[in-house]
Amino acid sequence: MPSASQRLSSLVALLLAATAVQAAEPQPSADRRKELIRFVRQECGFCHGLRLTGGLGTPLTQEALKDKDFDGLVGTILTGRPGTAMPGWQPFLTEVEAQWIVRNLQKGFPE
């Protein structure tokens, strides 16, 4: 029977492994990330402002999105908002790409 110290070591190893799996979120390729930056600046910027500070659409700045629900934002990007000018971009973006966009908007979108 393993000692308490061995059980604790095993538990710590499992927790570290689980954390590593979560940290390795899928990402678009480097070339696709460049395309997504252009996409957000141009397509989203058309309504949300070229600096993403607002326009017809709400601001997409780090400050404006910091408390917003991650999954809700991903869903909005993919399926749009009925009754508003916000279109669904699912024909052009995958869920992984939409997640990448939201993560980057919430931490300050790259130029």
pLDDT tens-digit map of 79-90? 999 999 999 999
Give 7's pLDDT tier (boundaries 50, 70, 90).
low
The region of weakest confidence among 11-15, 71-75, 84-88 is 11-15
- Residues of the chain with pLDDT > 70, as a percent, come to 79
Question: Which domains are delineated in the chain?
Answer: 27-107 (1.10.760.10)
User: What's this model's pTM, rounded to 2 decimal places?
Assistant: 0.77
Residue 102 pLDDT greater than 80, yes or no:
yes
Secondary structure of the chain in HEC code, one letter for each residue: CCCHHHHHHHHHHHHHHHHHHHHCCCCCCHHHHHHHHHHHHHHHHHHHCCCCCCCCCCCCCHHHHCCCCHHHHHHHHHHCCCCCCCCCCCCCCCHHHHHHHHHHHHHCCCC
